[in-house]
């Protein structure tokens, strides 16, 4: 039976982030029931409100994709009265999430030491490119630059040719996930100890953390990591192979799967090749092995191969475009694309949360907010401000909307 209360019901997040990593992290928290007050610049708001080309009625697809389940308040962080509003909101919040350059909030008088003075249990999660210290700590945070520094671009792309970035902003997105996780860890400690703390999450450290087996290989061998195109450094065959009508993915993860592959009649001629009996041997002789497999796979259509391989429990699949993945049967069966009603856009579709909890289930989503739409409501509810006080702040330039 579902519990109407989501896991983070009662948690209040003051969101001082913009663009992607930060908003993605706070969207995760909002999806799970946290109240998220998204602070935006009066007049322009989050940069991604203007990042097209896809949008409708003044709302961009980019902004809509990472800002649902939030309330937007337009506050000028440079105005003295605006800073006072932020300090008062932070005193009511459980969490502040920010992605300003190191030292910027301190310079504005809104650093962690200032905000926690009135709220000892406060958790502040800071998202930066390279963290709060080190020779690169002052560098701006861009996913492309982080992909270059962290190693993934040196691994991605054809064996010969230019490096490629990953086709989605993978460092931003995984950093957002780490920020959400780090926030929850600090919240648990604050709940236990009664004392908050600062959480330092960087694009660079996040990237290094998911180099995983590639990092292990490099650290143990002391050798440069090779670019292998679509091949795997530790498993073979584990890459696309051409069929008669397109590419299919072949993922032979162990020797038993290799043996079952060779049981298919088309591969009978390869059965005597005992030098490929073990995974490590196949990795070391990958090029010759793939050269032997390719003409066999070229004899039948992709979907026929996939069906036959799955029948013998050898992992295989197609290479779908994103639009195909979003409309495939698996996506539909798991309700991973949901429709949301927006006050100006109308109904738009977005990808649902991947976190599935069988008791505290997410059943609906609020749309990404209009710029400053919740300013008056949040200040009235959270701080007890009356209409005259809010109007005076707006007239003085501290508030927008």
> Would you please indicate which residues are annotated as catalytic (active-site) residues?
172
Burial pattern 49-77, b for ≥16 Cβ within 10 A else e, equals beeeeebeeebbbbbbbbbbbbbbbbbbb
- Rounded to the nearest 10°, the torsion over CA 348, 353, 356, 360 is -80
Secondary structure class of 23 (helix, strand, coil): helix
Closest residue by Cα to residue 218 from 148, 149, 155, 143:
155
First and final C-alpha spacing in the chain: 41
List strands edge to edge, sheet with 316-317.
238-242, 247-251, 316-317
| Separation CA 302–CA 244 (nearest Å) | 7
| Separation CA 166–CA 101 (nearest Å) | 24
| Separation CA 95–CA 112 (nearest Å) | 11
Q: Which two tokens stand for residue 277?
A: 């009996």
DSSP string, 51-91: --SSEETTEEHHHHHT--S-EEEEB-TTSHHHHHHHHHHHH
| Separation CA 398–CA 401 (nearest Å) | 10
Q: Which two tokens stand for residue 192?
A: 């236990």
Q: Which residue is it, tokens 């909101």?
A: 89
């Amino acid at each position: 039976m579902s519990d109407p209360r989501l896991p983070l019901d009662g948690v209040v997040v003051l969101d001082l982030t913009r663009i992607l990593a930060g908003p993605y992290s706070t969207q995760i928290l909002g999806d799970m029931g946290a109240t998220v007050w998204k602070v935006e610049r009066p007049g322009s708001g989050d940069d991604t409100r203007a990042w097209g080309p896809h949008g409708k009625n003044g709302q961009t697809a980019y902004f809509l994709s990472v800002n649902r389940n939030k309330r937007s308040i337009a506050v000028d962080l440079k105005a003295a009265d605006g800073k006072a509003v932020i300090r008062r909101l932070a005193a009511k919040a459980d969490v502040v999430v920010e992605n300003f350059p190191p030292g910027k909030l301190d310079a504005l008088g809104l650093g962690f030491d200032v905000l926690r003075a009135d709220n000892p249990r406060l958790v502040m999660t800071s998202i930066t490119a390279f963290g709060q210290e080190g020779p690169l700590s002052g560098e701006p945070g861009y996913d492309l630059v982080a992909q270059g520094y962290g190693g993934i671009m040196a691994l991605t792309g054809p064996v010969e040719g230019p490096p490629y970035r990953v086709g989605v902003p993978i460092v931003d997105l995984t950093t957002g996930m780490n920020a959400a996780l780090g926030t929850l860890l600090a919240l648990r400690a604050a709940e236990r100890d009664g004392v908050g703390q600062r959480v330092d999450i960087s694009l660079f450290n996040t990237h290094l953390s998911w180099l995983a087996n590639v990092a292990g290989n490099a650290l143990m061998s002391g050798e440069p990591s090779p670019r292998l195109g679509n091949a795997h450094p530790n498993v073979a065959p584990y890459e696309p192979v051409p069929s008669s009508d397109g590419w299919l993915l072949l993922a032979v993860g162990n020797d038993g799967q290799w043996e079952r592959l060779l049981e298919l009649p088309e591969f009978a001629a390869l059965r005597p090749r005992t030098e490929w009996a073990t995974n490590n041997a196949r990795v070391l002789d990958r090029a010759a092995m793939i050269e032997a497999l390719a003409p066999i796979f070229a004899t039948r259509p992709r979907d026929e191969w996939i069906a036959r391989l799955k029948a013998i429990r050898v992992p295989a699949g197609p290479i779908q475009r994103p639009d195909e993945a979003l409309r495939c049967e698996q996506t539909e069966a798991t309700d991973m694309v949901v429709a949301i009603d927006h006050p100006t856009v109308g109904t738009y579709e977005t990808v649902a949360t991947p976190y599935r909890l069988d008791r505290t289930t997410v059943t609906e989503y609020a749309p990404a907010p209009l710029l400053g739409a919740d300013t008056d409501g949040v200040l009235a509810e959270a701080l007890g401000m009356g209409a005259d006080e809010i109007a005076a702040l707006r007239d003085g330039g501290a508030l927008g909307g």
